[in-house]
Structure 1
Amino acid sequence: MSRNANLAKIHIAKKQLAMDDDTYRAMLLAHGGVSSSKDLTLIGAAKVLAHLERCGFKPKASGGGKRPNAAAANRGLLGKIEAQLADARRPWSYGHGMAKKMFNIDKIDWLNAEQLGKIIAALSIDAKRRAAQVARASKP
């Protein structure tokens, strides 16, 4: 993760945990070795973030990207793909990557109905594979 992303997360955590400035700076000094977040190294920022998560900070997951805008004929297929991606906890960028790898087309919304069907089939196979792995892992 980039330095700016880490700093943003630290400041979001500070706000989420309602830390006053004195407490925040004391925590930075104790866990990052600095009194200002701008002086944190990547390792120091990771240590501070780990401490903030132990204190109750819960980073929110990103929205997973914007749903593609496709032709009316393909909206049902995209809805199925969206459901499969959500079930696997994968973002739309994963679907775009599948389109690129399978058909050399950059965006999933540029695929035709036949290609979308193949994406659905691939996601179904992946779901069955994940279900089998969970079943094997849960057996004593």
Structure 2
Amino acid sequence: MKTTHRPALLAKVHIARKELALQDDAYRALLVQLTGKTSAKDLDEPALEKVLAHFTKCGWQPAKSTAKKHGQRPQTVKSRQAYIGKIEALLADAGRHWSYAQALASRMFGVEKLEWCDDDQVRSVMVALEIEARRHGRGR
């Protein structure tokens, strides 16, 4: 029986392994010692949590998410992906985060999230960012 937390735990185990610079043979020996299995894909949730607890004792610290602080790239339909890519580039060039684009969409159209905008609205946010970039000498 798979649960929703298992994939996230499995990903954390692989990230911790990489960040701790564990070689494959040492990693597999550690898995056998802790769980009796040679591969993390064969572990259930409690076993994955046990491995993560051991990695934490070894000094691994999970990275803190910046998504809440800075916002995250909106998930949009394919027709808007080119606009979203350009918005992302303009934000990066200006040193701004996705929360800036979200606030811009909110002020311009009264929508709470950029992904709720239609194609024309997303394009308008992109154009507004281009105008702002040119105004500050970052444009063409």
Q: TM-score, normalised by structure 1?
A: 0.49
